[in-house]
A and B are shown apart, each in its own frame.
Chain A
């Protein structure tokens, strides 16, 4: 395979960079290719290329170098660079965000359990304890402390379960101090942030109207 290949399909033009070729070689071949293009078929319209980089992650610096090469031609530009691979760090983050995590440990006064993604919680949160996550929280344990979903600022997250004895419910930046008898003593309660950015409580049966996106994700 050549270091740089030009392809065209119905979506437009693609330039495929061979992962086995050195980056210097790719730059050289790319210049050659673009030179040929510019001289062979003089064009007046701007052409955007998708640069495919299978099995190779380009660094920010390499990105800039590619941009610089395209920048020397008036009619060529990069639409986007698409790699087929991702770093383990990104993959882990993605995995953490997509999965539902189980937690069972007791969270005591003064302790904060910080998690990523959705959390299914079976443990006990005592007064002054805090469960914090970037995603949704589903509680089955005894909650006397603070639940914080959508940390730090995702207001589309929800909390489901029995949390009528919790001290506070927080979603994104919205905080509700739970007053006695404010939240029903019921494991089917849903806490969510409404269109007016106010934290509200509803019933699980109303999830379809509360958060249609999530309702459909769950297969409802």
Chain B
């Protein structure tokens, strides 16, 4: 029996889908069987980030309405043998096409076959959110070091506390810009964690490559040198129970010549 994890945030655009794709891929790289479930019905894009958009035949609404078997709708990612699958969202209907019971029964069904079922939650706290948390054992709450994202994350933590999941939720702070945090212009990691009162699962640095790679349909964890990719791999290992210290936030080093030219500019 696997474990189901919902990846949620409240606010849109903080990196739920990117985080789902990358944590899922990182777990698959560790040899775990992973199924990613896209519940952003009507606005699906997890398939695009994974580069699987051209392989979709059936979607989750087809399964619920009996037009396809669950196994038929699963899209296999060929890069990872038999380890990574996607259950795509429907595109031509909306979040009300699914009920909480239906979402839960699908997740329960998938948990029998997979080590991890990662549920990509839509933004907002309406039906789509309720569907996403219905079948989840635990949650990863994604936020960025911005006050608006933290405020919405607080709302979501509150909602999850009202309807507690099996296990305690965890926090993922995404898109950290090291220089802004060092200058004190962005919210501090400790400050966010303390404010939300949710244990920190990991941090992911902001990196241009995250966008570039997802545009190519390749999750950033496949790049072994990238700091953002490393953040996601650390998170996957922590989910597996390993103890890994938090990544240090380093300022980009200024080279010798850059420093020389800086002197001249000053004059």
Interface size class of B (residues with CB under 8 A): 10 to 19
Q: Is B53 an interface residue (CB 8 A)?
A: no
Q: Is A188 an interface residue (CB 8 A)?
A: no
Partner among B151, B161, B195, B197 whose Cβ is within 8 Å of the Cβ of A128: B151
Max chain B Cβ within 10 angstroms of own Cβ: one of A106, A109, A127, A128: A109
**Cα distance, A126 to B158, chains bound together (Å):** 10
Query: Which residues 126-140 in A have Cβ within 8 Å of B in the complex?
Result: 126-129
A124 and B197: CB pair below 8 A? yes
A-B contact pairs, 23 of them (CB 8 A): A106-B158, A106-B161, A106-B197, A107-B158, A108-B154, A108-B155, A108-B158, A109-B151, A109-B152, A109-B154, A109-B155, A110-B158, A110-B159, A111-B158, A124-B197, A126-B154, A126-B195, A127-B151, A127-B154, A128-B151, A128-B154, A128-B155, A129-B158
Query: Which residues 74-129 in A have Cβ within 8 Å of B in the complex?
Result: 106-111, 124, 126-129
Q: A124-B197, A126-B195 are in contact. Are A108 and B161 (CB under 8 A)?
A: yes
Q: Which A positions have Cβ atoms within 8 angstroms of B?
A: 106-111, 124, 126-129
Main secondary structure of the interface of A (DSSP, over half): loop
Chain B residue, CB-CB nearest to A124: B197
B194 to chain A, nearest CB (A): 10
Query: Which residues 185-202 in B have Cβ within 8 Å of A in the complex?
Result: 195, 197
Q: Is B157 an interface residue (CB 8 A)?
A: yes
Those 3 A-B pairs whose CB atoms lie nearest each other, nearest first? A108-B158, A109-B154, A109-B155
Instruction: Report B-chain residues with C-beta under 8 Å of the C-beta of A126.
Output: 154, 195
